[in-house]
Amino acid sequence: MAKEQTDRTTLDLFADERRPGRPKTNPLTRDEQLRINKRNQLRRDKMQGLRRVELKMNAEAVEALNRLAEARDMSRSELIEEMLLEKLQIQSSTD
């Protein structure tokens, strides 16, 4: 049997051949790693009492939020939460 360079299924023929790049440090594929990391992040968020909320905003509003969050040295998510809670407190006090 000849050694075919494009045949990577017969690993024993290529055991001594070094592949370029960084060696694998995790047996899982990148896609599987991302899926597991996302699942773990959702569990951590749930344990902290956080819930996921998604919304669409125009780009100008997002940029304004980014600038304000950076000026206050906080994340955009923290800023939005703070603004919503303040607004809800004002609304509940006027009712």
Which of the four pLDDT bands, split at 50, 70 and 90, describes residue 2? low
Q: Cα(32)–Cα(35) distance, rounded to whole angstroms?
A: 5
Q: What is the DSSP letter of 65?
A: H
Task: Report how far apart the first and last C-alpha atoms of the chain are (Å, whole number).
Answer: 84
**What is the model's pTM?**
0.58
Answer whether residue 19 shows pLDDT above 90: no
Any idea where the domains of the chain sit in the sequence? 55-94
Q: Cα Rg for the chain, rounded, in angstroms?
A: 25
Q: Which strand (E) or helix (H) includes residue 86?
A: helix 76-94
Each residue's pLDDT tens digit, 42-82: 999 999 999 989 999 999 999 999 999 999 999 999 999 99
Mean pLDDT of 90-95: 80
